Structure 1
Amino acid sequence: MPMIEMSRSDDVAVIRNLSVETFTQTFAALNTQEDMDKYIADSLSPDEIRREIADPDSAFFVATVDGVPAGYMKVNVGDAQTEKMPDDAMEVQRLYILKVFKRHGLGAGLMRAAFDMARAQGKTRIWLGVWEHNDPAIAFYKRFGFTQIGSHDFVLGDDRQTDLLMEAAVPAQE
């Protein structure tokens, strides 16, 4: 039975393991090992994950299937957002599902959790960055009403890439 819960401060190892495995599954075939290793060491280290979990402007959600961690999402408000945005915005910075658990509704469940959290906090829009070459993710976000509003650089190791910035309105209570 799938479950989605907000993470706790002691979930560092679970979130780090999910972060590294899902990021590698998603991007390793399209990037150099050196760039992947550098990004993981810099951005997904245990200390960095611990710092992010402790940030009051960030929240992590973990999706599990029969008690097995299957995916996660990180959302940011205020100064934790990776781009300066108005106070009515929330960022979905990361949303990843392990390959074996894709197509089971976990991504949709996590996205619904983001919209619920945004609504509860009085936010009117959610935005995110998605790699311009990640067609499955772009299609997924479009199904939730996201449209492109711009782009920004994303540095993976030593490789400067382009993320599309996408935004969706937070619907009234569903």
Structure 2
Amino acid sequence: MILTGPAIAAAIQTGEITIDPYDPARLSPNAYDWRLGDTLRVCEGDLDAAAPTPYAERPLPADGFVLQPGVLYLGATLEQTCSETYAQLLNGDRTTGSLGIWVHVSAPLGHQGHAIRWTLEIRAARPVRVYPGMTFGKLVFLTAFGAPASYQRQRGKYAATDGIGISRLYEEISPYEEITGGRS
């Protein structure tokens, strides 16, 4: 079940949810409106799942930055969020979608106990100017059923990420290639 805006506010008051920085005006009926951070990583060249992603880091100037089609941008949310009680789901919203921006290509789930500034995989359908701190999507909180399993305590692969993280799939592929000699 999705928490309502008033339930999110109550959970923040009790410490079950942390949003930093938090602005109660950003609560909507069933979500919290999150913002784009101030830096982008522009992925360069051909990407290889067996190697770290090459990128150039670009600060977002106050007068904006134009996203180009066909380019993968990695960004981060301005807000850091965490909850040991609730799972989180990060989404774009109509305001950015209407501009042809995909704010999160994959991985919208925030596990219980994962304190993160969300890494965003951003794509644009057409050239579009974005600004640091602009509303970029919605974050919903979900009731989890079953025994809690904290991401931090399980030392998940991205548990130590603070800000923009690149794919770390290469950490899994290299040992696989050593075992199989590259055969499927």
Q: Which has the higher contact order (CA 8 A, sep 6+)?
A: 2
Which TM-score applies when normalising by structure 1? Answer: 0.30
Whichever of the two has the greater Rg, that structure is 2
Which TM-score applies when normalising by structure 2? Answer: 0.29
